[in-house]
Structures are given as structure tokens and as C-alpha cells.
Chain A
């Protein structure tokens, strides 16, 4: 049985995230979910976009592909399409995942390739300096909405569920044990699985909108999630099952 440390590039620590940032908690939960399933690191491909969370692959001892902003799922589609036997995980921020990358997200859900999308929602663009994203709540203070965000936020889980994903779940960085369990489930679900984690960006969104201090902000984001857990679940044939059936090729998993 592999330990969660076997999936982490410990020699790369300390990480580049700000003190109190929620990203490290999510990374820890992901590594633990990998170890719970005893996944072979050489068979995992972590695909990232660009953003603070997009740096998470730096600290993993798996294969990785660091793409362009918003395109993690599009890169992941090519990896999974060409090598269906690999375990493919796309790590996205809310900017990456549902703002610039929104089109790829809904199509990944509709297409249902067996990829896990893990979106860390810190309600703003951390890396570029705290601008508002498609998940910033109405009225949220950011560096591009000094008097409050005039737009409504996406309910990303509802969007992904409506687009047809096999598994959609939501929790927060305040509940790492639940996150770990949800990720285990996502990683073993055929079809597209999507986990949204509400998290903190104490440097920007947290400082402008939430309680003082990262620890208190974790409670704020937990409260914003409402009832965490599975949002939608449906039995689907994943893309390859449908693809091989329509081409009369049966199950051709090993190539």
C-alpha cells in the first residue's frame, strides 16, 4: 500500500502558495485519495491549466502536463482519448475551470470521458491579483469590482450536472476528510466526474470579503457551500464504452 507521501514531491517543498492558502489542503486530500486507492503513480496523469492551483502538479510525483489557461480539460481529453487506460485528473481553478475554460467544461461533462475534474473555487483569480471570476458572488469585492461584483455567479455543479456528468460533488477545504472520500469516489466513477472545492484565497478574496485570518475564512467558505456532498450522480456509459460500441469494437481498454 502506498503512503500519500509517495505521491508528493516532498523535495519541492516549501510550496509557492501564500501562507494560509487553501490549495495545500486540497493537494493533501488528493494525494490521500490516490493512496487510498493505491493508484500506480506511473499510470496517473495530472493535467493543469494556469493559476495558483494550476501549480499543484509541481508537487506531485505523477506524470503531468502543464497546459495553457483554461485548457486543462481539453489537454486531458487528448491524453485520455489517446491512452484510455491512464487515470487522468484535471486540476483547475474557478478562473481556469468555469470562466475561460467554461466551454471545455460543459463539453467534458457531455462527452463523459472518464476524467476527474477537480476545481478549486476561491471565488477569484488568485494568480493574477484577485480579479473577479465567474464564481465571484454578486457584490463580491475584488480588484476589478471595487464596489462589488455586478455579475451573478455560476452554480458550477448545477451547470456540470445539467451538461450530463456522471458524478458531481461539492465540498470545501474545511472538510478535507469528506473531500478525500469524494475524490476516491470520483476517481473510480466511469464517465466525467467533477468535484468543486470551495476554498480560501486569504491574500485577495478572503482579505476583501471574509473574516480576518485564514482559519476563520475556512469556516466562511464551508458555510458558503451549504450542504456538501454528492450533487448529482447518474449511471452513464463512459465515452469509450459508447465509442467502441458504435464502432463495433467491444471493450478495447488495453492497447
Chain B
């Protein structure tokens, strides 16, 4: 398919910061789709799963309208994500998406993307992964994503989903990054609910991917990463092989670190802080941020100032920012939409030895239940067990 010539190519800076925006009341799926429309995407490959399906169906419509060059349905998530690897390595702009069980099935490939240095955007519409079967929102799967070397952003609402997806293409393709960017959002709460989204004109789009200015050449047998797999010493269990692989893994971690500057530029920082001086701080990501905002408001009505730190980027994790923002805190509460509390663990290990605050072990909901603000307030006022 030849791409439409209806759109004008503009710089990311113009598209993100200068182009006039108009407001639309749309679902999260539609917001992601509008980002793809302006993203100058070449190829989208995915396997259907609720609640991701709606977005990828809409991407199919974009394809029919000429906004994408190619669009396929793979045989399963491993097939989809592996095909993404192949397509991205040929230098085109790539998009895929999945939810809960689909992400888990394809995790083998997802974990190999960073080592292959593959720019692409992976949308995650979070969903229950554990039995018994459920399609409800619960972001347990993000706990696994944190271990993969992908950049992982967590959108709070429809606006974020639009902004992070569009920025994701640019961040992912920066030479010093050259890594996949996962943009997660809580299923249904955001994907199937409407919210106001401010967007630049659909007549504008990002410049095409410039694969030759990225960190590694395209499908090239003579350079890393493939060179590392093929060189004879690497096949042996010896010092040189350990060193080469270790160096490559460290380089991926370093590339993740280098993505901070671009996340800061395009997302306005890795965190957002509300009521910075408060002694009680809520730390949250995704939909839990929206619930926490409301809890902060209700606490204020009841005469108590509560602060909130929204974590936009889970990988790289905003360690330094959190330490500073929590320096004066006495009590930290981490509301989450999963039973394991992966964010709580991140927060604890980041703040350990840096702050005097007590860190509460909750609150958490799972299985698709939303988090009532009363629940957060209980932890604020009644001091649930630490």
C-alpha cells in the first residue's frame, strides 16, 4: 500500500509543542489510533486479544485509508513479535500491541528485542494473566515487562496514551536509544472509556524513520548484535565470550539510561509531582494515578494535605527524582492495580537508605476491580499496616 499524501511531514518538536491542538472526547483505543495516524507508521503486525483488539482493528482501518504501508495479522503473539523483529531490522517504523496473556506468550521475543536493538512501539493494554480466565484490567504483566530491557511508559489516561504513543516512535528511534518502547495503559478503564484528548491536526505526521542514523546498521552480518552471536569465541564458554555479552547488555542498560533525556523532553519528565511539600505521599502509575488524584482532593477537603507522585516511566525508573521528591515525606503509600505490588518493590528498593519515611505495603486491587478512593483514604487516615 502506498501511503497517503494527505499529510504534511513536520518535526517532532513542531508536532508535540507548537502545532495548535483541538480537543476530542474519545476512548483510549481511539487516542492510540490517532497517535498512529500521525506517527507515519510503516507496518503493524499483531494478534487479537481483548482489550487490545479494538485498537488494532482501528489501525486496520487506518491502513485501508492509506496511513500505513502494511498491516498483517500473525499466527500468534510469538509470530507477531518475531515478525516485528524482522520488520524493524529492515529499517521501517513498526507497531504492535497486546494484552496480558498475549504479552506473556510473546515474552520470549519481547525480551530479545532490546538486544537486537530494535526501534518499535509496543502498546500494552493491561489485562489479567492468572487463572481463572478473565479479560478484566489488572496490570500484573507489567511486573514482567520491567525485566526485559524495553523502555516502559505507563499512561494514566487517554491523553497520555496519545502523547506517549506518538513520542514513543521518536524516543525509540533516537540514535543513542535504539530500543523498543512499550506504552502500557490499564485495559478498559482507559481503552474503552472516553476522555478529553488534545491533538494536533491529523494533516500532520512525524518524519519517516531514518534507520541509517541509528545505533546499529540494518540486517548486517558484520556488526553487532549479530556479529556477537556469530563470532567463534562467543560460542565458547570463555572469558572473551562473557565479556562481549556483558558489554552488550551493559550497553542496553546504558541506552535505557540515555532515553531519560528524551522522555524528559517529550513527556515533560519521568514523574509529575502534586503537593510536593506534603508529609504523606502517594506514588502511583497508570489508572491508579487518577484514583490517587481524586483521593488527594478528598483528603484536602477533609483538611489534610496529601502529595502525589505520578510515575510516567517505569523503565528507566525515576530513582533520583523519587529520592528528591520523597526527601521530606513521613509516610509513603503506593496504590496499585495488581496483587503482587511490583511498583511497591521498585519504590522500596529505590528509597531504601535514602529516606526516613515509612512505606506502606499497599493498597492493592486486582482481578479488574477499580480502586475506590475511600480505600486510598483509609490508608491515608487510618494508617493501614506498614
Contact = CB atoms under 8 A, between A and B. Distances in A.
B31 interface: no
Contacts of B79: 71, 74, 77, 103-104, 107
B219 A64 contact: yes
A137 interface: no
B4 to A, nearest CB: 13
Given A62-B221, A63-B220, A74-B78, A249 B1 contact: yes
Contacts of B83: 74-75, 77-78, 81
Nearest to A79: B86
Interface string A83-103: 100100000000000000001
B75 A45 contact: no
B271 to A, nearest CB: 35
Nearest to A74: B82
B150 interface: no
Contacts of B109: 68, 71
Interface string A1-45: 000000001001000100000000000000000000000000001
B97 to A, nearest CB: 15
Given A57-B221, A103-B79, A247-B1, A66 B229 contact: yes
Contacts of A80: 86
Nearest to B217: A63
B82 A83 contact: no
B70 A82 contact: yes
B90 interface: yes
B202 interface: no
A interface: dominant SS: mixed
Interface string B98-114: 00000000001100100
Nearest to A48: B229
A67 interface: yes
Given A16-B232, A61-B221, A81-B45, A47 B76 contact: no
B2 A60 contact: no
A65 interface: yes
A252 B112 CA distance: 32
Contacts of B232: 12, 16, 58
B42 interface: yes
B220 A82 contact: no
A84 to B, nearest CB: 9
A245 to B, nearest CB: 12
Contact of A81 (B87, B220, B229): B87
A195 interface: no
B84 interface: yes
B82 A67 contact: yes
Contacts of B221: 9, 57, 60-64
A139 to B, nearest CB: 32
A86 B90 CA distance: 10
A78 B82 contact: yes
Contacts of A81: 43, 45, 70, 72, 83, 86-87
Contacts of A71: 78-79, 82, 109
A193 B172 CA distance: 35
Nearest to B229: A66
A247 B85 CA distance: 25
A82 B229 contact: no
Nearest to A248: B1
B230 interface: yes
Interface in B49-82: 64, 69-70, 72, 74-76, 78-79, 82
A71 B83 CA distance: 9
A66 B85 CA distance: 10
Contacts of B129: none
A76 interface: yes
B11 interface: no
A78 B112 contact: no
B92 interface: yes
B331 interface: no
B84 A78 contact: yes
B43 A82 contact: yes
Contacts of A107: 75, 79
Nearest to B112: A68
A60 B90 CA distance: 18
B327 to A, nearest CB: 44
B235 A78 contact: no
Q: Quick one: which of A9, A64, A86 has the most chain B CB within 10 A?
A: A64
A111 to B, nearest CB: 8
B89 interface: yes
Given A64-B230, A67-B112, A81-B83, 16 more contacts: A12-B232, A45-B219, A47-B86, A64-B219, A66-B229, A67-B85, A74-B75, A74-B83, A75-B86, A81-B86, A82-B87, A103-B76, A104-B82, A107-B79, A247-B64, A249-B2
3 nearest A-B pairs in the assembled complex, by CB-CB distance: A78-B86, A78-B83, A74-B82
Interface of A: 9, 12, 16, 45, 47, 55, 57-58, 60-68, 71, 74-83, 86, 103-104, 107, 247, 249, 252, 255
28 contacts: A16-B232, A55-B230, A63-B220, A64-B226, A64-B230, A65-B89, A65-B219, A67-B112, A68-B112, A71-B78, A74-B74, A74-B79, A74-B82, A75-B86, A77-B74, A78-B84, A78-B87, A78-B88, A78-B89, A79-B89, A81-B45, A81-B86, A82-B87, A82-B94, A83-B92, A104-B78, A104-B82, A255-B69
Interface of B: 1-2, 42-43, 45, 64, 69-70, 72, 74-76, 78-79, 82-90, 92, 94, 108-109, 112, 218-221, 226, 229-230, 232, 235
